[in-house]
Structure 1
Amino acid sequence: MEPSPLRRAVEAGRATASELGLRADDVVVIHNSDRIALRLVPCGVLARVAPSGHLADSEFEVEVARRLADVGAPVAELDPRVEPRVFLRDGFAVSLWTYYEPVGSQIAPADYADAFIRHHAALRQIDLAAPHFTDRVALALRKVNDREQSPELPDSDRELLSRTLGGLSAAIGSDQTGDQLLHGEPHPGNLLNTRRGPLFVDLATCCRGPIEFDLAHAPEEVGKHCAGADHDLIHRCRALNWALFSAWRWRRDDQMSDRDHRRAEGLNQVRAALDRCGLG
């Protein structure tokens, strides 16, 4: 978020917690993009704050978290001291979560895989209406193909992303017999190393698809600990995921930090992943 809406969003998060009886003397911005994550001190809350236009996404994330907590999934939990819902304040949607102190050590591939397997076992236990991953790809493809929404995307790169998104989505999504609920983006940035063990966060990306779509977000070593995974499919999903990442970065209104570097990185990763699949 830009400085002015960021200040309003920070205050919306702080004021929401305070009105619910949670002491928030200090606020630390942990993440700032199209929505923000705030650590509220000393109440031990992580507030996720998004413009109210993202209300449906915020409510979906809260519902996913609530259902997964009921089946013991390794996910970050909503703050138990307040009602498990999204609060509206000053044009922002605010949800309140437990804050977990990070543990410094890196998560080993075997531990990552163990959390991944338990998370997907829990996802299979809940019944939830969620989009198919191909729906997310279709949205990204519209952004790429609309020059008004991605005006700075060079023509050659636009063709690359359009071809990759459309072709791989159709190929991977053609057989849905093994699809299940997925996290959607279980990359290392969405797996916290805590005293309770690894916990997944950012649950608004939950969708349906093959488990390899999720494995393609994890470090490559993780897939080697997941019996039965189709490694050729993982490679194709990895190319698709990098194309999705790139599509979001080239949006006119994307607010991720260091966007120019991430744009270049994303396109390079798409090409490298396609080469590895023999599709370059």
Structure 2
Amino acid sequence: MEPVELRLAVEAGRATASELGLQVDDATVIQNSDRVALHLAPCDVLARVAPSGHLADSAFEVEVARRLADVDAPVAGLDPRVEARVHVRDAFAVSLWTYYEPVRSEISPADYADVLLRHHAALRRIDLDAPHFTERVAVALRQVNDREHSPELPDSDRELLAETLRGLSAAISADRTGDQLLHGEPHPGNLLNTRRGPLFVDLATCCRGPIEFDLGHAPEEVGQHYPGADHDLIHQCRALNWAMFSAWRWRRDDNMPARRHWRLEGLNQVRAALDHCGPHS
């Protein structure tokens, strides 16, 4: 978010928690992108604040968290002191979560694979109406194809992203027999190392697809420790995920910090990932 919107989002998060009886003397921005994550103290709450246009996504995330709490999934939980729902205040959607003090040590590839394996097992135990990953790809493709939404995307890169999104989405989804509920974006930024062990956050990206779609977001070494993973499919999913990432960065209204850097880096990563896919992709 830009500075003015960020200030309003922080105030909405603080005010929401205070009105629910939680003591808020300080708010620290932990993450700032399309939505904001705040650490509220001394009540020790993580507030996730999004523009109200993202209300449906925030509500979906809360519902995913509620369902996964019932099956003891390795995910960050909602704050138990308040009602498990999204609060709307001053054009923002606010949800309140348990704050976990981060552990500074790195998560090994084997431990990363283990927590993802356990998360996938938990996801198979819940019943949830979630989109197929191809629906997310279709949204990204529309952004790429619409010059009004991505006016600064060069023609050659537009063609690269469109072909990658269209071709790999069709190839990966050709056989849906192994599809299941997924996290959707279990990259390192969405896996916290806590005293309770690694926990996944940012549950609004939950979707259906092959487990390799999730593994394509994780560091490359993780797939080597995940039993039964199709490594060729992981390479395809990694290229597709970078293409979607790049599509979001070239949106005219994208708010990710250092957007100019990530526009170029995203395209470089797409090309590098496609090189790993081999000649048949």
Stretches of structure 1 lacking an aligned partner (at least 5 in a row): none
Q: CA RMSD in A?
A: 0.8
- Which residue pairs with 1:190 in the alignment? 190
Work out the CA distance in 1 between the residues paired with 2:2 and 2:102.
Answer: 27
- 1:133 deviates by 0.2
Alignment-mate amino acid for residue 276 of structure 1: H
Work out the CA distance in 1 between the residues paired with 2:79 and 2:276.
Answer: 43
- 1:134 deviates by 0.2
Alignment-mate amino acid for residue 116 of structure 2: F
Work out the CA distance in 2 between the residues paired with 1:276 and 1:200.
Answer: 27
Q: Does 1:96 align with 2:100?
A: no
- Which residue pairs with 2:79 in the alignment? 79
- Which residue pairs with 1:245 in the alignment? 245
Deviations 1:57-88, CA, capped at 9 Å, x for gaps: 00000000010011000000000000000001
1:97 partner SS: strand
- 1:18 deviates by 0.3
Q: Does 1:5 align with 2:15?
A: no
- 1:175 deviates by 1.1
- Which residue pairs with 2:115 in the alignment? 115
Work out the CA distance in 1 between the residues paired with 2:239 and 2:2.
Answer: 31
Deviations 1:166-218, CA, capped at 9 Å, x for gaps: 00001111111110000000000000000000000000000000000000111
- Which residue pairs with 2:164 in the alignment? 164
- Which residue pairs with 1:63 in the alignment? 63
- Which residue pairs with 2:148 in the alignment? 148
1:224 partner SS: helix
Q: Percent identity?
A: 81
4+ runs deviating over 6 angstroms: none
Work out the CA distance in 2 between the residues paired with 1:255 and 1:57.
Answer: 17
Alignment-mate amino acid for residue 127 of structure 1: D
- 1:278 deviates by 1.9
Count of residues in correspondence between the two structures: 280
TM-score, length-normalised on structure 1?
A: 0.99
Alignment-mate amino acid for residue 267 of structure 1: L
- Which residue pairs with 1:38 in the alignment? 38
Deviates more, 1:192-201 or 1:218-227: 218-227
Work out the CA distance in 1 between the residues paired with 2:277 and 2:113.
Answer: 23
Q: Does 1:206 align with 2:206?
A: yes
Matches within 5 A, 1:250-265: 250-265=250-265
Work out the CA distance in 1 between the residues paired with 2:259 and 2:159.
Answer: 20
1:151 partner SS: coil
Deviations 1:70-109, CA, capped at 9 Å, x for gaps: 1000000000000000001011100000000000000011
Work out the CA distance in 1 between the residues paired with 2:237 and 2:53.
Answer: 29
Alignment-mate amino acid for residue 206 of structure 2: C
Alignment-mate amino acid for residue 95 of structure 1: S
1:101 partner SS: coil
Stretches of structure 2 lacking an aligned partner (at least 5 in a row): none
Deviations 1:20-53, CA, capped at 9 Å, x for gaps: 0111100001111111000001000000000111
Work out the CA distance in 2 between the residues paired with 1:100 and 1:190.
Answer: 13
Work out the CA distance in 2 between the residues paired with 1:12 and 1:203.
Answer: 21
- 1:275 deviates by 1.0
